[in-house]
Amino acid sequence: MAAQKSKVKTALDAAARPKGASDRWGTIEFALKRHRSPHGQVTAVSMMKDEGPYLIEWVAHHLAVGFSDLVVYTNDCSDGTDDMLIRLEELGLCHHRRNDIPEGIRPQPSALNYAQAEPVVQQSDWVMVFDADEFVSIKYGDGTLDDLLTATKAQGANGVVITWRIFGSGGVVDWSRAPVTEQYLWAAPITWNKGWGVKTLFTFDDVKWKLGIHRPKIKAKWVETEFPDQIKWLNGSGREMEDYFKFRGWRSITRTVGYDWVQLNHYAVKSVDSYAIRKLRGNVNNKKDKYNSDYWSLQDRNEVRDDTMLRYTPARNRIIDQLLADPELNRLHFAALDRAEARLAEIRQTQAYADLVADLARASEVPITQIVAKPPQPRDREKIAALMSDVEKRRGAKAKAARVALPKEPVEAVPMGSYNPGEIDLSQPVSVDVFPNHSMKLPADARVFAAHVLPLIQQGKFERGLARKLPSALDKAARVLELGSAIGFVAGHAANERSDTTWLLQEDNAGLRQMMQLVCQLSNRAFNDRFSLSKQQLAGDPVAAAVALIQQFGPTALVVADPILDPAKLDAVLAQTKGVTQIVLYGRWLETHHATPYHPQGFAPQDGFDPNALRVYRAPLPV
């Protein structure tokens, strides 16, 4: 009987053991076990040097996310990072590998060369390469890779291209032992394309793929075969990536970017103190003076609050507590923290530290519109074309011809938004330039406006299509109720152009309402009996609130930009009210509902308007 029990235990241990694991893996019994994914072996590959203070959080977070295996390469560590990883391997939770760097090779490519031949990686079902300052944040489903990969496979896809979200210091200067993902909750706008680098989670086959930093590369002998046709990768919103990305590229573009399902939070700078320590110890790519003030300006983006990472706090903290229950890992973790704090105490006494703090403070003041992100070398289109295979050229030409020949789908043509999503904090005054736009004046305030529209404001072209079309679309002497007026630009300009119209504006977002007051003040657009702002909120019961406003104001034209009034709710409003003869849909409403086939019941669409910017409907005239 004893022999039979022993065989059962051995079989169970073998089933739980990762494919390709070393003899060191799981040699110490530990309560916390690696995740068993329904999608097989889902492996993260990373490279680290002196990441001791942050390692436990990074490991705990990605165990909570649902990676079954973490393979980490280290080189030249002086803070115990490698010893911590060795211990984690003994506990059966990570795989540590040495990155012995050949002469003339940079650390990161060296580690990827080793990973290409690593048995754990070779036998994985899914692989993703990313760094120690990057944390996967999944918005889809329950926030785990299990749900994300289920949805990915349901579309017949075998990869997900995950775009960076750049997180800044949030104004934090001092060192703290608090988790990185809780300290830094301010990020670049999702529309800021200088932060659109990607990492790729994909099904790995070491015969056909060569691992890369941002995405794998098809090995040359497979490019001209049927293999590229078998690749289907999705973007971070679950939409299929374009064909070119099978062959080259390391960042998203406007047509491919997406954050609805998953994003990669990139904490490149952290606090000023953390940055000071990092600047003195080099970096994984050996880039000379990488961590200068220009790099800080690029990475210290704090325009939009994003706290979606907090969904992982309970699960991550439970895992951290379990990890630190191991006496050896506990000792190594706190030794790394003590070592970092002792080093920080030393450099804080130096003039170099004082100069750095002052330099970074100046760098933080650089507006997002003035950030320059130059590639390592100029893009040589002829050289790229020469390197492209015939199949790439044929596919690229075919895709371009299709884009030219066919009208753009709304999902591509509708802009991602003129305003930064989420909370808009205008509590602290900032100095920004003001630019005339049509008959209004707008401040180029990156706290409010999405990065891609700031240049349009500077050129006087903000909402140009709306500004040109809407005033002429309104009926004579129209009484206009605008639900979701944002900063009041469209209504203010239309009221300036059409003195016969009367406007009642409504907006739920407190930050946008505050900016509306400033815009109208700058533009000499007075609030009066012809142009007024309601205090009514739509949130809570938007149908009842909209009906009440219509009954009180008696509009002939209903302009809707707030997406809370989805098509069903908007139909419910119209069924309960009378007198509206025109309906206009634009802005945030179209951004949210553009893909839904809809026109208001009892109204017919008016021609002559770009449906990606403005949709106008009219009730039939009485017979």
If pLDDT is split at 50, 70 and 90, which confidence band does 623 have? very low
10 Å Cβ neighbour count for 89?
23
Q: Are residues 362 and 442 in the same domain?
A: no
- The answer to the question of residue 476 being in a domain is yes
Residue at which a domain ends, from 330, 350, 366: 366
- The answer to the question of residue 376 being in a domain is no
Q: Are residues 455 and 539 in the same domain?
A: yes
Q: Each residue of 418-471: pLDDT tens digit?
A: 888 778 888 888 788 899 999 999 999 989 998 778 888 988 989 888 888 899
Contacts of 399 (CB under 8 A, 6+ apart): 242, 243, 244
Q: Are residues 118 and 253 in the same domain?
A: yes
Residue 401 has pLDDT above 80, yes or no: no
pLDDT of residue 400: 63
Q: Which domain holds residue 231?
A: 18-366
10 Å Cβ neighbour count for 328?
14
Closest CA relative to residue 423, chosen from 509, 486, 309? 509
d(CA 480, CA 580): 9
- The answer to the question of residue 389 being in a domain is no
10 Å Cβ neighbour count for 376?
5
d(CA 173, CA 344): 12
- The answer to the question of residue 153 being in a domain is yes
If pLDDT is split at 50, 70 and 90, which confidence band does 32 have? very high
Least confident of 111-125, 207-221, 223-237, 609-623: 609-623
d(CA 112, CA 284): 12
DSSP-assigned letter for residue 338:
H
Q: Are residues 137 and 243 in the same domain?
A: yes
Mean pLDDT, rounded, for 183-210? 92
523-544 in b/e form (b: 16+ CB < 10 A) is bebeeeeebebbebebeeebbe
Give 452: exposed, middle or buried? Use CB within 10 Å, 0-12, 13-18, 19+.
Answer: middle
Residue at which a domain ends, from 316, 339, 366: 366
Q: Are residues 308 and 442 in the same domain?
A: no
Look at phi and psi of residue 149 and say left if phi exceeds 0, alpha if psi is from -120 to 50, else beta. alpha
CATH number, domain with residue 539: 3.40.50.150
Q: Are residues 314 and 177 in the same domain?
A: yes
% of the chain exceeding 70 in pLDDT: 88
d(CA 272, CA 356): 9
Are residues 79 and 332 in contact, defined by beta-carbon separation less than 8 angstroms? no
pLDDT of residue 68: 97
Q: Each residue of 144-179: pLDDT tens digit?
A: 999 999 999 999 999 999 999 999 999 999 999 999
Q: What is the CA radius of gyration of the chain?
A: 28
> 442 - beta bridge partners?
435
Q: Is 394 helix (H, G, I), strand (E, B) or coil?
A: helix
d(CA 493, CA 438): 7
Q: Can you list the pairs that 388-392 forms with residues at least 24 positions away whose Cβ atoms lie under 8 Å?
A: 388/247, 388/248, 389/220, 389/223, 389/224, 389/247, 390/224, 391/223, 391/224, 391/228, 392/223, 392/244, 392/247, 392/248
d(CA 4, CA 150): 37
- The answer to the question of residue 424 being in a domain is no
Q: Are residues 322 and 465 in the same domain?
A: no
The total number of structural domains in the chain stands at: 2
d(CA 336, CA 341): 9
Q: Are residues 123 and 246 in the same domain?
A: yes
- The answer to the question of residue 583 being in a domain is yes
Q: Each residue of 255-301: pLDDT tens digit?
A: 899 999 999 999 999 999 999 988 765 433 434 555 578 889 899 99
Note the maximum CA span of the chain: 95
Residue at which a domain ends, from 366, 393, 419: 366
Q: Are residues 216 and 350 in the same domain?
A: yes
What is each CA distance from 16 to 13, 35, 39, 68, 95, in whole angstroms?
5, 9, 14, 10, 15
d(CA 178, CA 173): 13
Closest CA relative to residue 171, chosen from 291, 300, 267? 300
Residue 323 has pLDDT above 70, yes or no: yes
- The answer to the question of residue 412 being in a domain is no
Are residues 265 and 163 in contact, defined by beta-carbon separation less than 8 angstroms? no
Q: Are residues 459 and 569 in the same domain?
A: yes
pLDDT of residue 28: 96
d(CA 431, CA 89): 52
Residue 403 has pLDDT above 70, yes or no: no
Q: Can you list the pairs that 394-401 forms with residues at least 24 positions away whose Cβ atoms lie under 8 Å?
A: 395/228, 395/243, 395/244, 395/247, 396/243, 396/244, 399/242, 399/243, 399/244
Look at phi and psi of residue 156 and say left if phi exceeds 0, alpha if psi is from -120 to 50, else beta. left
Look at phi and psi of residue 292 and say left if phi exceeds 0, alpha if psi is from -120 to 50, else beta. beta
Angle CA 254–519–585, to nearest 5: 50
User: What type of residue sits at position 548?
Assistant: A
- The answer to the question of residue 350 being in a domain is yes
Mean pLDDT, rounded, for 96-112? 95
Q: Are residues 108 and 248 in the same domain?
A: yes
> E strand or H helix at 480, and its extent?
strand 479-483
DSSP-assigned letter for residue 363:
H
Q: Are residues 350 and 444 in the same domain?
A: no
The DSSP secondary structure of 396-441, one letter per residue, reads: HHHHHHHHHHSPPPHHHHS-S-SB-SS-----S-----EEEETTEE
